[in-house]
Structure 1
């Protein structure tokens, strides 16, 4: 069962969110705070009390635009603690998803909040909290340590769409120490989904955005191709053209024809620029 703190400086929005949260049977308690200072004070008490204390908080549902400190500011401050509560952002603005997921948010819910969408966010949080509790029970208890639920990155929670995700956490390891697949959040029609990076065959540059191509379809995220190139190099993604980043393991054919090089990735045939052709051939012919 979850203990929740909801933070929003607009009282009607806070009351509506608390109403929806309290109507969810998976939530034991849901309290509200109308500004960042009050929220940080309550969270500090929770951290001092420990995960099983009377004032414990498992997750903070956090608005972004608030007077004084923003929700992103609060998340940055919490990141300085060894084991902060989980964070779900609840906002009317799509454009902060990248920063939100960089801060290890579990989810990114857009206003107006729909009951079904909020229930999905609660499910994700509950799964992480349960995993973290099981992990604590299997290890010696340290009274001075608070081990909240492990976070997982969120992405089609930009998830897909000018989705704003983007920046997935360290590969395969969730903040609470629980192993899990790396995902990228993507936003589509107000719904945040999480796309496993291993499902992505290639990425196509589209201005300041990048389109992720998987077997099931494609997702647009607001992140430059150069950034994904740097972050996903260790996962086997290589630049083959100024417009394309490809997963080496997904290349089915390499073709050389009259001085031009192309690769086939599933049903797509992609051009390889001259500057990248030699490196790509070496990687394919002499895998490390």
Structure 2
């Protein structure tokens, strides 16, 4: 059974999160903290008590944007301990995913929190701790009987339950060669490569930009450059890969070169500028 601490500085959201955790039969206790100071005091007591002590905490469900210290700050502090509790980030913002998983978070749950999505985070925490699975209880854990419970919203691309981790690499999880699998919060979505306008490097990750959204994949930009060269993607900068056919403008200004791709203006490095101009010229002249 899991002992949980939920941390959120918005009281209604904290109460909802505690209600959902306490309703899960795999959670033996769930306490709340409404700010970083209270959370650190409670976690420090748990660490002093030890994993098997009366004040122990197995997993912290942690908001990111809070007054004072952020959830990321708390996670960095916990990383210095030998046996810290597991971390599940619960946030309304997708953009912190890279930092969250760099801090060894086991899951990243987006608000508003769906009961079935939180149930998946609890399952991951139990698996990480090596606990035996509890008896199936469809009333409290829809993921036990309903695979569609973790499917993506109807408005998005086709989705299916995904593997663990921040975002899968390309290859075995691609639905077809024309798609790339991306995952966030246990949901695997298949994004058409033809819909991707440009890609931005973020460390060992890459952010795929389509017309109306962005998606994070755990794969280096250099790998995408190699795999997608035949699809018309060209490297224009150490941080940017662009679909040649999606470039709307090439701009030269005081010796610097940039391109406009939709609403984004991207810098072109000096080493790539001449090659890009030649490619665009050849494309324009057929």
The residue number in structure 1 matching 2:28 is 28
Change (3 A) 1:86 1:220: same
SS state of the match for residue 130, structure 2?
helix
* Corresponding position: 1:244 with 2:225: yes
How far is 1:269 from its partner? 7.8
* Corresponding position: 1:85 with 2:66: no
SS state of the match for residue 89, structure 2?
strand
Cα deviation, 1:176-229, whole Å, max 9, x if unaligned, reads xxxxxxxxx9445xx43489xxxxxxxx993316479xxxxxx94267x7xx26
The residue number in structure 1 matching 2:199 is 207
How far is 1:40 from its partner? 0.7
What is the CA–CA distance in structure 2 between the aligned matches of 1:66 and 1:272, rounded to whole Å?
40
The residue number in structure 1 matching 2:186 is 192
The residue number in structure 2 matching 1:100 is 100
What is the CA–CA distance in structure 2 between the aligned matches of 1:96 and 1:70, rounded to whole Å?
11
The answer to whether the 8 Å contact 2:78/2:84 transfers is yes
4+ residue runs over 6 A deviation: 268-273
The residue number in structure 2 matching 1:12 is 12
The residue number in structure 1 matching 2:68 is 68
The residue number in structure 2 matching 1:126 is 126
Cα deviation, 1:60-119, whole Å, max 9, x if unaligned, reads 000001010000110011111111100000011111111101101000000000000000
Cα deviation, 1:221-240, whole Å, max 9, x if unaligned, reads 267x7xx26xxxxxxxxx57
The residue number in structure 1 matching 2:216 is 221
Considering only aligned residues, what root-mean-square deviation do their CA atoms show, in Å?
A: 3.6
Change (3 A) 1:111 1:131: same
- TM-score, length-scaled by structure 1: 0.54
Q: Could you say which structure has the larger radius of gyration?
A: 2
SS state of the match for residue 51, structure 1?
coil
Cα deviation, 1:227-284, whole Å, max 9, x if unaligned, reads x26xxxxxxxxx57xx6245xxxxxxxxxxxxxxx99xxxx889999xxxxxxxxxxx
How far is 1:155 from its partner? 1.4
Change (3 A) 1:79 1:205: farther
What is the CA–CA distance in structure 1 between the aligned matches of 2:207 and 2:73, rounded to whole Å?
29
SS state of the match for residue 52, structure 1?
coil
The answer to whether the 8 Å contact 1:104/1:153 transfers is no
What is the CA–CA distance in structure 2 between the aligned matches of 1:271 and 1:208, rounded to whole Å?
12
Structure 1, unaligned stretches of length 5 or more? 133-151, 161-184, 196-203, 213-218, 230-238, 247-261, 274-288
The answer to whether the 8 Å contact 1:154/1:194 transfers is no
**Superposed counterparts of 1:208-287, under 5 Å:** 208=200, 210=206, 220-221=215-216, 228=220, 239=222, 244-245=225-226
The answer to whether the 8 Å contact 2:200/2:207 transfers is no
The answer to whether the 8 Å contact 1:155/1:193 transfers is no
The number of residue pairs the alignment matches comes to 180
SS state of the match for residue 208, structure 1?
strand
The residue number in structure 1 matching 2:166 is 155
Structure 2, unaligned stretches of length 5 or more? 133-162, 170-180, 190-195, 209-213, 236-286
Change (3 A) 1:211 1:270: farther
